[in-house]
Amino acid sequence: MYMMLMMIMFILTLVSIIMLLASILSKKSIEDREKCSPFECGFDPKSSARLPFSLRFFLIAVIFLIFDVEIALLLPMTIIMMSSNMKSWFTISLIFLIILLIGLFHEWNQGSLEWAD
């Protein structure tokens, strides 16, 4: 037990030292206006290089990812249907689908699924 504790302390110390060295060595020492500005054929940029990001697009993408994961959870349910107790499988599947539908209706009522205002 003592040996394992010493090993854990050694590893944590080593990791902390490596992270500290990496953060110290990775700092850029020269900050220049020309180096920080985006390159546009040697001329000063006409406008900001950063375009505004649509928050609505981000919200739709997150909702898509959530429903994509939910589909990945639903697909194995059909495979294990025959090898499990039918009553418990049906109950669990029904509860899962009801939770998904409640989430979908909540997003719909909040207006999260509408792309244009």
Report the b/e string of 17-35 with b at 16+ CB within 10 A: eeeeeeeeeeeeeeeeeee
Lowest mean pLDDT among 11-15, 60-64, 102-106: 60-64
- pLDDT tens sequence across 11-59: 999 999 999 998 888 766 566 666 666 665 666 656 666 667 777 788 8
Question: Are 73 and 96 spatial neighbours (Cβ–Cβ below 8 Å)?
Answer: yes
User: Cα separation of 60 and 37, whole Å?
Assistant: 31
pLDDT of residue 37: 62
